[in-house]
Structures are given as structure tokens and as C-alpha cells.
Amino acid sequence: MTSQGVDEVRAGLSAYLTRLWRYGLVLSGARDVADDLVQATCVRAIERAEQFQAGTKLDRWLFAILRSIWLNELRSRRVREGGGLVDASEALVVDGAREMETNIVAGQVLKAVGRLPESQREAVLLVYGEGRSYNEAAEIMGVPIGTIMSRLAAARLTLGKMK
Amino acid sequence: MNELNDIALGDDALLVALVDGALGAKASEALRARLLADPALQARLDALRAGEQPFGPAFQALLDSAPAARLQAGLDTLLAARPAPLQRPASPWRRLALLAAALALLLGGVEIGRLLPGSASTPELAARPPTPQKDDWRNAVAEYAALYTADTFADSTPTSAADLARIGAKLDLTLTPERLMLADLRLRSAQILAYDDAPLAEIAYVDASGAPYLFCVFARAERELDLRGEKRGGFASASWAHGGRAYMVIGAGRPEQVAAMADTLKLRF
């Protein structure tokens, strides 16, 4: 007999794939790494599905898994390949499916965000991009709430100077 | 958002919380008072505001550019390779002879409750109303399923989307060919039956060898039931209950095929 948690994970993964991909892209700055991160997260989530408590926040659980895989497994390789700090500004682009003007603005914003240090662009995605609360972002990033706020402030200061 | 009033924070953190509307009323008031008196602090606030961007639309655009189909295909492969843990009883497959009388009953849409073990024409059975136990409808379906063979569908035309919609409406359910589509199985027929005065939809598929599989939806509310595999009447079957309806899959094929069918349908219903 399957548990409710297992069912919820298997059925719910589908809904979060693109969000997970976006998260992976912001973290890694590379589309192929984002693909790998999503797939690895799905594998891990399915393997650990019995640990998931049905009715709790699935997206937070999945985001935490992806983050852990990035930090513990893929990040060091990516940083080595990138020759040091990861500049995500080239990978954070959008395709031409929208009106040109919307794309241009979105592209500029994403390029600027891509130049931020990893922890700041992650905070910007979680809070400003996804609309999560400081508390949620702090939980996902595993830091105190004050740290989230400092990172957002630092991001704002940098982005303000870029204009 | 939690209101931040009592946490000891640096000025930048306080200011950003104010800009983001995350600062509690008391702390906001105190901070605004300080800003009025402190031009340097106000300048800091302005610098933070200068970093404002249309983040929402930009990140939405990024989300929209995700390779959704490829990601889904990757997930489908994983899910198929790792079936959900399901009790799989060993069940001997057996073919059954077609009964002409049973076919007549099928076409007439007779109440399943009357198809009890033994002869349907036995007077005592005809007079006795079915006792509504929770499990009875599934047993009745299993008995009924035993009457199907590959020949049952050989000459019939497959059911149409309009038929599916009509049948679904009887159970207040949206039934479309897409929602019922299964890999390796062909949808052949759908019909409305009744058990104990509640509508029961029966959707029939055949596999490549012509072996029949039934997906039944019963509009009798049951408490939520997790997917469980069972052996009924010598067939592999699986059932669950969700949202006020009960579901059952039963088939003439291998238990793994029945389980896979149930897994897929349970994701959609």
C-alpha cells in the first residue's frame, strides 16, 4: 500500500519542474547544469518520497533537495569549470516568445541579477522573483532571517548602481 | 508576511524590510521617525530603492523559457522505471468462455447487483436486493469482468468523445479521451451501469493481444483510500477512493500491467 506522502510526491513533481529548473539555473548559471539538477532532484525526491510528510509544503521540500544537490555535488565541479566565480549573466536569458519590449526589459533585469554573487541572486529569486516571505527564503537557504535581509539589501545596492 | 518588530537588525536590513513592506507597524513608525532626522539614513534608503526592478515579470519570463516538455519527459522516464510500491499479488491469468446470456445483459445495462455467483435467473436471487456492503460493488465488477474476452470488442466501434462526456456527466466527472489515454492499451468502450442505485461507469480497454482491462468509477462516496492491489475472481486488480468516488482497475493481463494502469490513472483521478 502506497503512503499518501509517496503519492503526493510522485503526482506533485510535475507541477514544479519548471520552477525547479529556474532555481537550478539561477544557482548554477548554466542551462545544462539546471537540467541535471532537475533530473537529480526528481531521482532523490522519488527515492526519499516516503520521508515526505503528506500535507506539508512540497515545493519547499523539493527546493531544499535541489539546493543540497547543487551545494554538495555539482557546485564544486561547475566552479572549477568556470575558473572560479560563476557569472550567471550569460545564462539568464529569455527566448523570443514574448513581445520584443518585454523581452528586452526582462533580459536586462536578468542579466543584472546574473552578475550578482550567488547567494544574493538566490535570495532575489526566492523573495522578489517568486514572492516568498523572508521566513520561507531563510528556511530554504538555511540561514537566519537577518541574513536574507542583508543579502537583499546588498543586491539592491548593487543593482541600483548598475543602472 | 511575518511582521518584524523585535528582531535586532542592522540598518540595511531594517530599511530593506521597510521597502519590501515586511516591517511591522511599530518598527516602521520608529524607522520613519529616524529617517526624518537622519539624512544619511534617508540616502541609504534611496539607494536601496534605486535597486528596484521589475523582478516578477523578468523571472516569469525565465520560467516560461524553461524546457518544460523535456523536463516532463525526464520525469516520466523516472516514474516509469520506479513503480510506486504496490502490493502485487500473484494471480493466475485465465481465459473465460463468452456466455451469450451475459452479452444480452451487457447490452441491456442491467443492474450489476443481480449478477451474483450462480445463475442470474434463479428466482431467489432475482427477488433479493443486493446488500450494500462496502466491497460488494468491486466483487460485482470482478464477476462481470470475468465475462469479457478478446471477442467482446472485436467488432464494435470504439467509443466517442461525446459518449465519454455523457457518461462522465452522470458521475459529475470530466471524461475525455486524453484523460483516459493509456500507453499500450486501446480504449474500446464506455458505458454506464448501476449498482445499488448509484451510477457506475465502466471503461474498457484492450491490450495488443486483445486482453480486456476495465477501469470503473463508482459514484458512491467512500472515505479516502490509498491505492491497494487485490486479487479478485482470479484477476489482478487495484482500487482507491478519492473525492467522493471509488475507482477500480481490473484486467486479464499480468499484475504488473494492471498496477501500471492503476498508477497512471490514479495520478489523473
- The reported pLDDT for the residue numbered A85 is 58
**Dihedral (C-alpha) B98, B99, B103, B106: value to the nearest 10 degrees?**
-100
Whether residues A10 and A80 fall in one domain = yes
Q: Which of B127, B138, B130, B125 is nearest to B113 (CA)?
A: B130
A149 and A102 belong to one structural domain: yes
Contacts with B11 from chain A: Cβ below 8 Å: none
Contact (CB<8Å) B13/A149: yes
Q: What angle do CA A25, A30, A36 make, to 5 degrees?
A: 75
The predicted pLDDT at position B26 comes to: 93
Query: Is residue B132 less than 8 Å (CB to CB) from chain A?
Result: no
| Cα B267 to the center of its chain, rounded Å | 4
In this prediction, residue A41 carries a pLDDT of: 97
Q: In this structure, what DSSP letter does residue B83 have? A: P
Q: Are residues A78 and A93 in the same domain?
A: no
Q: Which residues of B touch A116 (CB under 8 A)?
A: none
B173-188 pLDDT per residue, tens: 888 888 888 888 888 8
Among the partner-chain residues A25, A102, A159, the one whose CB lies closest to the CB of B57 is A102
CB-CB: which of B53, B79, B87 is closest to A159? B53
Residue that terminates a domain, selected from A35, A61, A86: A86
Distance of CA B219 to the CA centre of its chain: 15
**Domain CATH code at residue A33:** 1.10.1740.10
Q: Is the pLDDT confidence value at A148 over 90?
A: yes
- Whether domain B89-268 has CATH 3.30.200.100: the reply is yes
For residues A104 and A133, membership in a common domain is answered with yes
Closest-CA distance, A67 to chain B, in angstroms, reads: 18
Partners of B73 on chain A (C-beta within 8 Å) are none
Closest alpha carbon within chain A to B228: A1
* A41 lies in the same domain as A81: yes
CB distance B62–A135 less than 8 Å? Answer: no
Q: Which residues of A touch B227 (CB under 8 A)?
A: 1-2, 7
Query: What pLDDT is recorded for position A24?
Result: 96
Residues 6+ apart with CB under 8 A from B138: B230, B232, B237, B239, B246, B248
B187 touches chain A (CB under 8 A): no
Chain B residues lying within 8 Å of A6, measured CB to CB? 84-85
> A18 and A75 share a domain?
yes
pLDDT, one tens digit per residue, over B140-169 is 777 777 777 666 766 666 778 888 888 888
Place of cell 516568445: A97
Cβ pair B86:A2 closer than 8 A = yes
End position of a domain, from candidates A86, A117, A134? A86
Task: Using alpha carbons only, give the angle A82, A88, A90 rounded to the nearest 5 degrees.
Answer: 95
**pLDDT at B5 (0 to 100):** 55
Amino acid of residue B73 = A
Give the gap in angstroms from C-alpha B19 to the nearest C-alpha of chain A: 10
d(CA B253, CA A154): 62
Question: Are residues B65 and A93, on separate chains, in Cβ contact within 8 Å?
Answer: yes
A7, A77: one domain = yes
Domain end position, chosen among A50, A65, A86: A86
Residues A36, A71 share a domain? yes
B3/A contact by beta carbon, under 8 A: no
Number of domains in chain A: 2
> Which domain CATH number covers A158?
1.10.10.10
pLDDT tens digits for range B92-128: 332 233 333 333 334 444 333 343 344 344 444 334 4
Containing domain of residue A32, as a range?
1-86
A37 confidence band (pLDDT: 50, 70, 90): very high
Assigned C-alpha cell, B140: 460485482
Mean pLDDT of chain A: 88
If asked whether residues A6 and A70 sit together in one domain, one would say yes
Dihedrals phi, psi of B18, to nearest 5 degrees: -65, -45
**DSSP string covering chain B, please?**
---BSSS---HHHHHHHHHTT-B-HHHHHHHHHHHHH-HHHHHHHHHHHHT---HHHHHHHHHHTS-HHHHHHHHHHHHHHSPPP--------------HHHHHHHHHT--GGG--SS-TT-HHHHHSPPP--TTHHHHHHHHHHTT--GGGGSSPPPPPHHHHHHHHHHTT----HHHH--TT-EEEEEEEEEETTEEEEEEEEE-TT--EEEEEEE-S----EEEEEEEETTEEEEEEEETTEEEEEEESS-HHHHHHHHHHHHHH-
Share of chain B above pLDDT 90, in %: 26
- Among candidates A14, A22, A127 on the partner chain, residue whose Cβ is nearest the Cβ of B63: A22
The single-letter code of the amino acid at B226 is D
Give the highest mean pLDDT range of A8-12, A131-135, B241-245: A131-135
Cβ-Cβ contacts under 8 Å between A and B: the total is 164
pLDDT tens readout for residues B211-252: 788 899 988 767 888 888 887 777 888 988 888 888 999 887
Same domain, A105 and A160: yes
Interchain CB distance below 8 Å, A145 and B7: yes
Q: Per-residue pLDDT averaged across A112-136, rounded?
A: 96
DSSP 8-state symbol, B114:
G
pLDDT reading at B57 higher than 90: yes
DSSP bridge pairs for B187? B205
The pLDDT tens digits for A121-131 are: 999 999 999 99
